[in-house]
Each structure stands twice: as C-alpha cells, then as structure tokens.
Structure 1
Amino acid sequence: MDWSKAKRIMIFAFLVVNISLLLIMTSKNIRAKDYITSKEDVIERLEKINVDFKTEIPEKTPNIELLEVEYEEYDTINKKLDIANEFLSSSDLLQIANIDNEKDSIIFEDDKEKFEILKGKKIIYEDKTRNNNSPMEFDPEKVASDFLKEKGFENSDHKMTKLKKNNDIVELNYTKLHINTILEKSYMKVIIKNGKVISFERLWLNVIEEKENNIELRPATDSLLKLLSVEGIRDKTIDKIELCYYFDSNDADIFDFSELKAGDAVPAWKVQFTDGTIKYLYEE
C-alpha cells in the first residue's frame, strides 16, 4: 500500500469534513441573525394593531430541553378511593359513589361535600356548605398552602401564578414547576371564602424525562411577531412574558383528554394580557 498517498487522502477527507461543519455552523448563525428582531421594531409593529406593553421583553433565551410528560392518573379503584379519602370525611366512600358513564367520571357526594374524578385525571372538590359566615380577614396564600399540604401536594413542585379577589371570594392558581420553569397546562385552582377552601381543581402533569431538543426556541422579540397573525388580541395590553414548557395536547380542548396520556412539552413563550388572555408562542 502507498502510505503516502493514503495519508494525503485522509488529510483531504478531514479538511472536507471540517469545511462542511464550518459551513453548517456559519449558515445557522446567518439564519439566526436574519430573524433577530429589535425590541423597538416588535413594539412598533404590534402598536399597529393596538397591542401595548406593560412589561419588559426578555432579552435572553435560555436553552432548555424537551420534556416527556404524562398526566397524573387515578386509573384503579384503589387510587380513586385513596385520593377521595384525602378530601372527604365519609367513612364509607363506596356508599356515596356514583359513576357517570357519559362524562367518564366517578362522583362521591353527600349533603356536605362533593368529590369528582373526571376521566381518571382531573379531580374536583366542592364544599357544599359554602361557609356563609360574615366576611373575615385571612391570609389566602397561607390558607391555600395549608390546604395543599394537608392533601399531600408538595410545595416544591408548584408555583402560584395567579391570585384574584372578588368581594369575599379569593381564587388562587398554581402551576407545575420543573427546575424553576413553569409547565403548562398543569394546574391547581383553589377557591377560598371566609378563610375556608370551598372549591379545588387539579389537573397535573408529571415529568418522565428530559429529551434532546432539535428545535431551537426563537428569541422573545421574534416570537412576539407571531401575534400579528393571531385573532382576538387587538386592542389588548401585554402584562407578562415568561419562558415555560407547553404541553400542546394536540391543540385539543384541555378537557378532552380521555385518551391522551403522555407526550412532549416544548419550550415556549407564555404571553399574558391584562384581561387574562394567554397565548403560547413556540416553534412547530
């Protein structure tokens, strides 16, 4: 074998591979620069459809992975009875249980309380006594926190994302956290009246694993330009922009999850408006 000739061929092949990699990286950088929009430009363009800003636009785009997630399920009779027992004081849950085949739910109900497990995934609790005492002063965050601890839901895996007061009713919303980043749409809703929880809902996602993400999330400025083609946001004001994971649920209604068990949550920008409207901007 002519080792000198073979060596030249190997050197040539090595150079070709490195040049190809350099061209790919350069091409990616050029494409990245092509779609980076300035804050001033995005604000100006959204102003044309009367969308205002009441918050700063994030400057950094953290590099986060895909998450494989699954719905928390109560798929056996023992799991259903165990979670119902956390909420209800009845000594015989089977005696007060009713199955609604049309809704695909099981309901435990007596004169004072009602607890429903919908499609084996969403749980709903209601205190039917409603606590109609005179209005009183209380700390809603402490009441909600104590309630969640009592029901066995850890403090470390969720974050309060909304607090709304309406006379003597306070509503608090909590969202799933994964390494300090919220996971949508995974939530708990606590409604309090006169210092007592009168209603609770939970639809939860659990993380199976992190996965390599081959689709890079664009900067917030570029992603916000997608709002130009979104219906129903004219004449609104953006109140908050934050990075999140978003479980698309196949764009289905969030309550139509009877067959959906697991999937990928993608990095996204959560854009919240002052009227409560929320849009999720991500790469498809």
Structure 2
Amino acid sequence: MDWEKVKRIFIYLLIWLNIGLFAANHFNGHDYKITNERESAIYKVLEKNGVGLYTEIIKEAPPMRELAISVNALEIDDFREIFFKGENPKITLEFDKTILASNTKSLIVQDNSITYLNPNGNGKIENFGKETAMAAAEDFLELLNIDGRSSLKLESAIPDNGAYVFEYMESFRGYKIFSSLKKITVSENGVTMASASYYTAQEFTGEKREIYSCDEILLTFLEEIRKSSPHDSVYIEKIELGYDFKNAKDIDDGSRLRLVPCYRIFVAGSPDAYTINAYTNELKEE
C-alpha cells in the first residue's frame, strides 16, 4: 500500500470536511485544535486498519519552541560515597565509562548517566507488594537525586517477573522531559537495578514553530506499525506530548543541548514507546 498517498488523501478529506469551520475557528483563535470531525475520522481510519485507540487523543497542537537543557557533570567520588559507603570498590576505566564494583554490586557511570546493579538486592522487604516496593523505590530515588533539584514524578509501575519496575520522569513548565528518566527495579530482596540520566532544563529557546497535530502523528504511527506488524491487532493505550532528543546523535550546542517537541505512543503489551518528532512527523532514530 502506498502510505504517502493514503496520508495525502486523508488530509485532503479532512481539509474539505472542515473548510466550513475554518473561518470560525480562526476568528476564535482555535486554529491548532482538532475538530470533532477530524477526531472521528482518525478513529475510523485506525479501526479499519486493525488499530484500537483506548485513550484520548491530544486535541491541541499550538506552535512550540525547543527546550535548552544542560548536561550535569557527574562526580565519581559522590557516587562512591552514596552507593559504596564503608566499602572499597574496585574502579575500572574503560573507553567511555567508569565502573565501580564490590563483591555484591556495581555502578557504571557513562557520560551523564548511571546504571546500578545489585542482583541480591539492597535489603529484604517485609510484606512485599506494590506498596512496599514503591516505598523502597522512593527511598532509593532520594539517593539518585544527587543535586536535590529534580522535580521527579512517578510515571509508571510495571510488574516484572515477581518484581516491580518504577519509572520517574522530570517535567518543565508542564511538559515531560522524556530523556530525563530514572528507573528502579525492586524485588522482595530490595532494589536490584536502577538507571538514571542527569540533565537540567534551562529555558525554552528559539522561535515558536508549528507542530504536527495528533491525528497526523497517528497516521505516521499507523504506517510504521503496519511495516513491523502487518497483520497483528494493535491497541494504543497512551499518547503524550513532551520533549526529547531529535535522535541519538544530537549536536551539542556549546554547554547545552536542545530538545524538540515529540509525541510518544504506547501500545498494549510493550513498555517501549514510539517517539515521533512533532516538528517533522518522523519516527525518532535510536
């Protein structure tokens, strides 16, 4: 199927469908809102192609600026004091990372991110369950929040082979920063693994640019999902708009990096999201 042709036809239909409402929407300052007709149309297109939409779409897509963030410098001594207090871990320097390791646990520091591994856990949890596991994760989160400035909120709590994986994300002025994530795995033996990246949001920068609307983004998602799973039923559980890197090889702008608006789409049965650049309507390169 020629997906580009399908997308063009769909957009043309939406334009004609809404042409009578354009003037009124423009007068009321609602140019960047998805109309009920467009919302209904995208539901129908997805349904006909085996994709169920079990969440609200994002109905507004106003122009957005880029977000400037700084990379936090990580001090090895700080982490040694936090995670290996009273121990004398072996320190190994590799090409782009530093590894601290004791007999029971290890910590990998790479660029501005860390990975903590403790297979036996950091302490058995009485009456283990979601609530007690979350309490242990919150305590450990305080250790990860080394500068004390992060505004982290719980993003998800996922059962995983008898353990729970808790994900925490930062936000800036109401927008989530998808690239600033902290993840903690807790079993009945305590925290067994954690990872964290360290950035500081600075300010919105550059001119406001128009972004693609959610229905247009969903057409790109539909094209991608049908390439990888042409015959499977797919169920969209969550859609969100925030900030992320353009791709894995973004250019450093002096001491700062720039994030762009992105949509994330989550489907049932997978913890990973489809991340689509809101400026270009292209799937993010990993």
1:205 equivalent in alignment to 2:199: yes
Distance 1:121 1:46, change over 3 A: same
Which residue does 1:137 correspond to in 2? 128
Which residue does 1:273 correspond to in 2? 267
Contact 1:246 1:268 in 2 (8 A): yes
Distance 1:257 1:194, change over 3 A: farther
* Gapped regions of structure 2 (runs ≥ 5): 1-22, 281-286
Q: Pairwise CA RMSD of aligned residues?
A: 3.3
> In structure 2, the residue corresponding to 1:240 is in which secondary structure?
strand
1:239 positional shift: 0.3
1:236 equivalent in alignment to 2:234: yes
Distance 1:222 1:265, change over 3 A: same
Identity %: 18
1:166 positional shift: 2.8
Q: Tell me which of 56, 81, 93 is aligned to 2:77.
A: 81
1:244 positional shift: 0.9
Alpha-carbon distance in structure 1 between the residues aligned to 2:150 and 2:229: 34
Contact 1:131 1:194 in 2 (8 A): no
Number of aligned pairs?
A: 243
Alpha-carbon distance in structure 1 between the residues aligned to 2:103 and 2:257: 39
Alpha-carbon distance in structure 2 between the residues aligned to 1:180 and 1:142: 25
Contact 1:236 1:275 in 2 (8 A): no
1:217 positional shift: 1.8
Alpha-carbon distance in structure 2 between the residues aligned to 1:127 and 1:149: 17
Which residue does 2:52 correspond to in 1? 52
1:67 equivalent in alignment to 2:67: yes
> In structure 2, the residue corresponding to 1:182 is in which secondary structure?
strand
Q: Deviations over 1:44-101 (max 9, x none)?
A: 1122321111112122335543201233332xxxx121123211124445xx111123
* Gapped regions of structure 1 (runs ≥ 5): 1-25
Q: Tell me which of 154, 157, 160 is aligned to 1:163.
A: 157
Alpha-carbon distance in structure 2 between the residues aligned to 1:71 and 1:98: 23
Contact 2:124 2:190 in 1 (8 A): no
Contact 1:114 1:128 in 2 (8 A): no
Which residue does 2:11 correspond to in 1? none
Higher alpha-carbon deviation: 170-179 or 152-161: 152-161
Contact 1:135 1:168 in 2 (8 A): no
Alpha-carbon distance in structure 1 between the residues aligned to 2:118 and 2:244: 32
Q: Rg larger in 1 or in 2?
A: 1
State the TM-score, normalized to the length of structure 2: 0.72
Contact 1:176 1:205 in 2 (8 A): no
1:122 equivalent in alignment to 2:113: yes
Alpha-carbon distance in structure 2 between the residues aligned to 1:214 and 1:64: 5
1:149 equivalent in alignment to 2:142: yes
State the TM-score, normalized to the length of structure 1: 0.73
Alpha-carbon distance in structure 1 between the residues aligned to 2:125 and 2:155: 28
1:262 positional shift: 4.1
Q: Tell me which of 75, 96, 100 is aligned to 1:108.
A: 100
Distance 1:215 1:233, change over 3 A: farther
